Amino acid sequence: MARKRTLIIFTVVPVLLLLFSAGGYFGYKTWQEHRFLTVPPETPGHEAVFRVEPGQSLWTIARNLKKQGLVTDARRFVALATLRKDTGRVRAGQFRLHTGWIPDSILNELTTSPGIMQRVSVREGLTWWATAAVIEKAGIGTAETFEKAVFDRSLLDKYDIPANSAEGYLFPETYLLTPPTDDQARAMAETMIREFLKNARNLWPGGLPPAEELHRIVILASLVEKETGAAHERERIAGVFANRLKKRMLIQADPTIIYGLGPQFDGDIRKSHLQDRDNPYNTYTHPGLPPGPICSPGLESLRAAAFPEPHGYLYFVAKGDGTHHFSRTLMEHNKAVARYQLRRNRSTYRSTISE
């Protein structure tokens, strides 16, 4: 009987020890899991900027989070994302995270927040070099790298731009974006071109015009943008240019001369500028449209150039209040020039050309 009892003891005790051991192990693992989910890596912790690259795997993201001290266990973070069905929802970009956050808060930020966004506002009517200055001031690369992108043949070919620069296609807009780590200025230029195409497709829902025809419209739209002071006049001004082109009349637009003079223009158009045949953008000496856009037009100027107002006007002159007087004949135009330009009040006169 004693021998039987001894046998039972030798059989049961190891089993009990094994059960206690297993229970302790699983209990420890449960405690670790609970601690991972409820205790932040640091207290009180500190802020950390974390970047997720496009196409990065969840495992790489989790390992980088651990490396920066934002989570304590990469494997458990992946398991948490899997449990929450968030494995494919982590966004690319820069995020402002904190080592005092629990993993659930980290994952929420990576899957629901747009991250750290930079705001860049580019208004209508800017030349590419004026836009480059805005981009540099916003901290999205340098003016030099932006210029390089504007004239990048591979980028122009990618978007079927039949010109030697992206002038006219750098769509004016307020952008909220996360710049990439590499060539930020090129990414900005490409973003602006894509925005142009997106807006242009709204004007032609059936499909964009052929590249050469679209380019001609963009050139005309850039003139409309520079000459328009009152928004309601855009279609009428576009109609004047269209009428002059049909009659093979010179465009004679001051903003084209200014563009041809480049960034060094001092603000004063002289007689020598009007007569300068070496300036390819001088529409007082060269017939037809200038060789390229003279700024980036907004959507409404693009619309006006695509669908100009039908009328008989051939001339317009600034009245000094932001609007224009339109004329059908040269005689009527000369009278308007005398009235609004030669006898103008210099203290109240307002130019309509965007600076």
Domain boundaries, the chain: 30-112, 118-203, 215-342
DSSP-H helix ranges across the chain:
2-38, 58-67, 74-83, 103-112, 128-137, 143-150, 153-158, 184-203, 211-227, 234-246, 254-261, 271-275, 299-306, 330-337
pLDDT band at 23; cut points 50, 70, 90: low
pLDDT tens digits along 131-188: 999 999 988 889 999 999 999 999 999 999 999 999 999 999 999 887 777 778 899 9
Statement: residue 72 has pLDDT above 70:
yes
Q: What is the pLDDT of residue 93?
A: 84
Q: In this structure, which amino acid lies at residue 306?
A: A
Of the candidates 241, 348, 350, the residue with the CA atom closest to the CA atom of residue 290: 241
| DSSP, res 231 | G
Instruction: Tell me which residue has tokens 């059960």.
Output: 19
Looking at CATH, the fold of the domain delimited by 30-112 is given as Dna Ligase; domain 1 (3.30.1490)
pLDDT tens digits along 275-326: 889 999 999 999 999 999 999 999 999 999 999 999 999 999 998 888 999 9
Q: What is the pLDDT of residue 14?
A: 58
Q: What is the pLDDT of residue 350?
A: 53
Q: In this structure, which amino acid lies at residue 327?
A: S
The percent of residues above 90 in pLDDT, for the chain, comes to: 66
Q: What is the pLDDT of residue 79?
A: 93
Q: What is the pLDDT of residue 121?
A: 94
CA distances from 348 to 179, 334, 341, 345 (A): 43, 22, 12, 6
Arithmetic mean of pLDDT, 237-262? 95
User: Phi and psi of 103, rounded to 5°?
Assistant: -55, -35
Q: What is the pLDDT of residue 353?
A: 41
CA separation for the pair 177, 310 (Å, rounded): 40
pLDDT band at 268; cut points 50, 70, 90: confident
Range of weakest confidence among 22-31, 79-88, 251-260: 22-31
Q: What is the pLDDT of residue 211?
A: 96
Q: What is the pLDDT of residue 34?
A: 85
Q: What is the pLDDT of residue 355?
A: 33
Token duo for residue 296: 């980036």
User: Phi and psi of 318, rounded to 5°?
Assistant: -70, 135
Q: What is the pLDDT of residue 354?
A: 36
pTM of the complete model: 0.77
pLDDT, averaged across the chain: 88
pLDDT band at 11; cut points 50, 70, 90: low
pLDDT band at 99; cut points 50, 70, 90: very high
Q: What is the pLDDT of residue 217?
A: 97
User: Phi and psi of 326, rounded to 5°?
Assistant: -105, 140
What torsion, rounded to 10 degrees, do the Cα atoms 225, 230, 231, 235 define? Answer: -70
Q: CB burial class (10 A; 0-12, 13-18, 19+) of residue 141?
A: buried
Please count the CA atoms within 13 angstroms of the CA of 193 that sit on its side-chain side: 22
Arithmetic mean of pLDDT, 214-241? 96
Q: Are 254 and 353 in contact (CB under 8 A)?
A: yes
CA separation for the pair 222, 179 (Å, rounded): 28
pLDDT band at 244; cut points 50, 70, 90: very high
- Omega before residue 44 within 30° of 0, cis: yes
pLDDT band at 352; cut points 50, 70, 90: very low
Of the candidates 292, 314, 334, the residue with the CA atom closest to the CA atom of residue 239: 314
CA separation for the pair 153, 117 (Å, rounded): 29
Mutual orientation of helices 299-306 and 211-227 as an angle, nearest 10°? 120
53 versus 352: the higher-pLDDT residue is 53
109 versus 31: the higher-pLDDT residue is 109
